[in-house]
Amino acid sequence: MTDLAQLELDLIQAIGQTATTTEVEALRVQALGKTGTISGLLKGMGAMSPEERREKGPMINGLRDRVGAALAAKKAELEAAELDARLLAERIDLTLPAPPRRRGSVHPTMQVMDEMIALFAEMGFAVAEGPDIEDDFHNFTALNFPPKHPAREMHDTFFLKPDPETGERKVLRTHTSPVQIRAMRAGEKAPAPWIASGQEPPIRIIAPGRTFRKDSDATHTPMFHQIEGLVIDRDIHMGHLKGTLEAFVARFFEMDQVDARFRPHHFPFTEPSAEMDIRCDRSGGRLRLNEGEDWMEILGCGMVHPKVLIACGLDPDEWQGFAFGMGVDRLAMLKYGIPDLRPMFDADTRWLAHYGFSAFAAPNLATGLS
Ligand code: DAH
């Protein structure tokens, strides 16, 4: 057998024995690579005499073509086998039972917030927003909390680290009332486009949002939600406040009217101040509104304090107004019979599946609220 025939036999045999594409590639380099055996023979042709080249040339070229073809064929075969093996390994058994599907739902707090926004929007209130991180001026000073006044401590405020340059300590807002200030201070530029900028009266806004206090027990969580309301116009009096809030509460609880009382209270930013209660019956472990001899506190309210108006550049002899604030989570619990506040913020999908609302049940006054 000639050397060439022997070489071809050896190579074809070796190709036949490869088991992976990596081995095939190693053989290709060994035979046809730059310093491969066949490449060496091809190069050697340059030194041959014309007769010798005429005789050996076709043999060497033929050898290169056949070995090349054998390598390519083996490579294709192994690639197909490797793909089959991978497909088999990554196969998904579609006959396995699917894991139970948890559908997303709307949190009751957000549902109730949307209900409240829909009701107030119909009464002509616009939504205004403020930042969660507030400065002392908007959260306290402009709302007539005197400096060092215990009311500031009463709010169990979360203070941020003081600014190294100014020493100013920002706070996580303890209530949504600072949005009142932002809405009234007409000359003040809002720090971001979504934050309420001051407007000239008449003003009729509600401010829903997150609020924060260092407080945690069965009825308090460090983060909770409030809706604030503010009306500023000429000749505004307590009658407007009562009428607005009674209409709101009745519609919120889907009753024709509510049996409410306004109990004197104190807030620094209103004068007079009141808390609104609705009549209820708690006997037998059930809560019934508009019945019985008990009263349940619903919200805080009052006539905007002249000092607050002055802090916002409004003349109290010309403009008056009323304001109110309420806890959205607490009203959601009341309306939808949720017994405990804390699980509302546990993000437990089982709780959400039970108390959450379908995204298709967006509150809408035309079809009813709940
Ligand atoms: N900011 C009060 C609080 O968080 C609630 C409140 C009471 C808001 C009376 C008002 C108001 O606007 O008039 O406890």
- Whether 368 shows a pLDDT value over 80: the answer reads no
Out of 171, 210, 269, give the residue to mutate to test ligand 1, the one with the largest number of ligand atoms within 8 Å of its CB.
269
Evaluate: CB of 177 within 6 angstroms of ligand 1: yes
Evaluate: CB of 298 within 6 angstroms of ligand 1: no
Specify the residue with its C-alpha closest to ligand 1, atom 2: 325
Evaluate: CB of 228 within 6 angstroms of ligand 1: yes
- How far does the centroid of ligand 1 lie from the alpha carbon of residue 89, in Å? 63
- How far does the centroid of ligand 1 lie from the alpha carbon of residue 325, in Å? 4
Report DSSP state, residue 229: E
- How far does the centroid of ligand 1 lie from the alpha carbon of residue 173, in Å? 13
- How far does the centroid of ligand 1 lie from the alpha carbon of residue 339, in Å? 24
**Average pLDDT for 105-132:** 96
Residues 133-164 as b/e (b if ≥16 CB within 10 A, e otherwise) read ebbbebbbbbbbbeeeeeebeebebbeeeeee
Residue 277's SS3 state is strand
Q: What is the DSSP string of 205-223?
A: EEEEEEEE-S--BTTB-SE
Given the CA of residue 177, which atom of ligand 1 is nearest to it? 1
Specify the residue with its C-alpha closest to ligand 1, atom 12: 324
- Whether 337 shows a pLDDT value over 80: the answer reads yes
- How far does the centroid of ligand 1 lie from the alpha carbon of residue 257, in Å? 23
- How far does the centroid of ligand 1 lie from the alpha carbon of residue 268, in Å? 9
Out of 181, 182, 228, give the residue to mutate to test ligand 1, the one with the largest number of ligand atoms within 8 Å of its CB.
228
- How far does the centroid of ligand 1 lie from the alpha carbon of residue 312, in Å? 17
Q: What is the DSSP string of 30-91?
A: HHHSTT-HHHHHHHHGGGS-HHHHHHHHHHHHHHHHHHHHHHHHHHHHHHHHHHHHHHHHT-
The mean of the pLDDT values for the chain is 92
**Average pLDDT for 151-167:** 86
CB half-sphere exposure, 330, CA atoms < 13 A: 15
Token code pair at residue 323: 């304001």
CATH superfamily of 108-355: Bira Bifunctional Protein; Domain 2 (3.30.930.10)
Q: What is the DSSP string of 167-202?
A: ----EE-SSSTHHHHHHH-TTPPPSSTTS----PSS
Given the CA of residue 143, which atom of ligand 1 is nearest to it? 1
pLDDT, residue 218, reads 81
Which region among 31-40, 153-162, 340-349 has the lowest average model confidence (pLDDT)? 153-162
Q: What is the pLDDT of residues 224-269, one digit of tens each?
A: 999 999 999 999 999 999 999 999 999 999 999 999 999 999 999 9
**Average pLDDT for 195-210:** 95
pLDDT, residue 154, reads 66
Report DSSP state, residue 280: E
Q: What is the pLDDT of residues 344-358, one digit of tens each?
A: 999 898 999 999 999
326 backbone dihedrals φ, ψ, rounded to 5°: -145, 155
CB atoms under 10 Å from CB of 79, counted, come to 12
Report the percent of the chain where pLDDT is more than 90: 74
- How far does the centroid of ligand 1 lie from the alpha carbon of residue 228, in Å? 7
- How far does the centroid of ligand 1 lie from the alpha carbon of residue 287, in Å? 25
In which band, very low, low, confident or very high, does the pLDDT at 1 lie, cut at 50, 70 and 90?
Answer: low
Q: What is the pLDDT of residues 64-96, one digit of tens each?
A: 999 999 999 999 999 999 999 999 999 887 887
**Average pLDDT for 292-314:** 97
Given the CA of residue 304, which atom of ligand 1 is nearest to it? 13
CA distance 244 to 146: 30
- How far does the centroid of ligand 1 lie from the alpha carbon of residue 131, in Å? 17
pLDDT, residue 361, reads 83
**Average pLDDT for 323-327:** 98
Among candidates 155, 158, 241, which has minimal Cα distance to 204? 241
Between 90 and 325, residue with greater pLDDT: 325
- How far does the centroid of ligand 1 lie from the alpha carbon of residue 285, in Å? 29
Evaluate: CB of 268 within 6 angstroms of ligand 1: no
Q: Is 184:232 a contact under the CB 8 Å cutoff?
A: yes
pLDDT, residue 149, reads 79
Evaluate: CB of 270 within 6 angstroms of ligand 1: yes
Evaluate: CB of 325 within 6 angstroms of ligand 1: yes
Report DSSP state, residue 258: -
pLDDT, residue 92, reads 82
- Whether 179 shows a pLDDT value over 70: the answer reads yes
120, with CB counted inside 10 A (0-12, 13-18, 19+), is buried
pLDDT, residue 258, reads 94
pLDDT, residue 266, reads 95
Where do the domains of the chain lie? 4-89, 108-355
Out of 139, 154, 177, 230, give the residue to mutate to test ligand 1, the one with the largest number of ligand atoms within 8 Å of its CB.
177
